[in-house]
Structure 1
Amino acid sequence: MDSWLRPIQLEGELVKLVPLQKSQKVDLVFAASDGKLWELWYTSVPSPKTIDSYLDIALSQQASGHALPFAIINKKTNTIVGSTRFLNVDAKNKRVEIGATWYAKKVQRTGINTECKYLLLKYAFESLDCIAVEFRTHFHNHPSRNAILRLGAKQDGILRNHRIDDSGNLRDTVVFSILNSEWKTVKTALEFKMGSNQVS
């Protein structure tokens, strides 16, 4: 793996982000079953049928230096409540994407997402010295699009007919980013949001 991005653990008040491992398989499926998240047609969340390939792909991308996947642990309950990752890693140009993020239904809109994104962004800009961090989501995933905007990201554009999904549907992908020059202001806003217990 590129030494620029190696497995790490990130910790905040609400969550710990720990490296994704195959031993977490049962806990990941249990978290995803809260709300049967895999039934959302515009997202890629592991189900009991797909968890093995989900883990194989994530860990092979990590081994090749193209991603760094995490399991999200709720510190209050010490249980896995979702997953997220750095992906589309471009070490030469110091760019990463934060994506493949999902949460058990019971922790959505609790502040956990805000803290996860804060920890990842802080690491990307302050430890990896990134020049930009990207977010991408399905055009029809309006909850995700709104959550990304609330973080302080700006929309770069829409990649039309970007992918063909497993059902043969054409996906338009909306691309957002935060630049290193914007991080100080975004960080201040996120810290204010977390301090005032606003949920996201």
Structure 2
Amino acid sequence: MTDIDRDITLSGALVRLEPLSHDHHDGLVEATNDGQMWTRWYTSVPRPEGIAQMIDERLRLKDEGSMVPFVAVRQSDGTVLGSTAFYDIRPEVPRVSIGYTWNRASTHGTGTNVESKLLLMTYAFETARCAGVRYETSWSNQQSRAAIERLGAHLDGVLRADRLQSNGALRDTVVYSILAHEWPSAKANLELRLARHCD
């Protein structure tokens, strides 16, 4: 596995994934207010007053080498759309997880998240030479599960009573993955989906 560049920027036609910094605070506050995503108890979207803490925590994990956090920015106007990350980086496998992803509600269905996943997985498989990319989500988050399955990911299993959610309930975590030999097919599907938004 090639080391993942902790300061890399990944750019596409619709979206740019740039390294998270404190400069993104106000844009992320505006993004989380778009649709009040934190009201969905099964997600990990922070409240506006929790954005600073989220940035601090992700930058701490970045310094420790266990996360590479990004902010998604719309190419056309520079609007901050949300955040995502590489995490659980396992160079000995090699494998990486993609997650901690959320985007402002008004961007759902516009192709920006599809392109973000295409950028991240292209880097993971073709530059970092990962053997697999993993996704995790709550059993209760049907929207996220469907989106992960549309990426071409396969269900690996369910970790029951895996962690506590923000409302104190125990979360069952659904685990998916895409392996290196599956990537060409998944990539072609993502490129086809993205083309519908870029034409």
Deviations 1:68-121, CA, capped at 9 Å, x for gaps: 000000112211011000011112211110001011111111111110000000
- Aligned-pair distance for 1:176? 0.3
Segments of structure 1 that go 5 or more residues without pairing to the other structure are: none
Report the equivalent of 1:119.
119
- Aligned-pair distance for 1:62? 0.5
SS of residue in 1 equivalent to 2:49: coil
After TM superposition, the structure 1 = structure 2 runs for residues 134-145 of structure 1, keeping only pairs within 5 Å, are: 134-145=134-145
Percent identity for Structure 1 against Structure 2: 42
Query: TM-score of the superposition, structure 2-length normalised?
Result: 0.95
Task: Write the letter of the residue equivalent to 2:141.
Answer: N
SS of residue in 1 equivalent to 2:96: strand
Deviations 1:107-141, CA, capped at 9 Å, x for gaps: 11111111000000000000000000000000000
SS of residue in 1 equivalent to 2:197: coil
Report the equivalent of 1:66.
66
The answer as to whether partners of 2:42 and 2:138 remain within 8 angstroms in 1 is: yes
Report the equivalent of 1:146.
146
- Aligned-pair distance for 1:53? 1.4
CA RMSD, aligned part only? 1.4
Segments of structure 2 that go 5 or more residues without pairing to the other structure are: none
After TM superposition, the structure 1 = structure 2 runs for residues 67-86 of structure 1, keeping only pairs within 5 Å, are: 67-86=67-86
For 1:110 and 1:4, locate their aligned partners in 2 and report how far apart those are by CA, in whole Å.
28
After TM superposition, the structure 1 = structure 2 runs for residues 1-200 of structure 1, keeping only pairs within 5 Å, are: 3-197=3-197
Task: Write the letter of the residue equivalent to 2:110.
Answer: T
Query: TM-score of the superposition, structure 1-length normalised?
Result: 0.95
Q: 1:123 to 1:3 in 2, by over 3 A?
A: closer
